Structure 1
């Protein structure tokens, strides 16, 4: 039986895993609107944010009519 805790959602961010959530929080990013001000490349450069997390964020942005900033 695992005792790992799933990180609680922050703002309107989707569940993207503990390392990615921590990286976004350290950068002061707590909402999808704030995610949209960053490029895919910027997010991938953050330690803990990988392609899977970025894909989840991209889908959540698209659902709200938002997208990543241009590189």
Structure 2
């Protein structure tokens, strides 16, 4: 029997383990939580980079969501 993923990020293609660990360490386990964060906030996490951000952006867009607009 296949085990269900423990968070939304396990199934995102192109999201490497360091980025998954960074999100988990920040308490972010669901895709919807990303819409409450700006890209700048996430890029401050150790393990997050341009490739991970692109994968997350695509996953959000596929669900009709986006990152929070930055104020900077």
- Per the shorter chain, which TM-score range? 0.7 to 0.9
Match of 1:47 in 2: 46
Higher helix share: 2
State TM-score, norm by structure 1. Answer: 0.81
> Structure 2: 5+ residue runs without aligned partners?
none
Aligned residue pair count: 63
Query: 8 Å contact 1:24–1:30 — kept in the other structure?
Result: yes
Match of 1:33 in 2: 32
> Structure 1: 5+ residue runs without aligned partners?
1-8
Instruction: Could you list the structure 1 runs, at least 4 aligned residues long, displaced by more than 4 angstroms after superposition.
Output: none
Query: 8 Å contact 1:10–1:31 — kept in the other structure?
Result: no
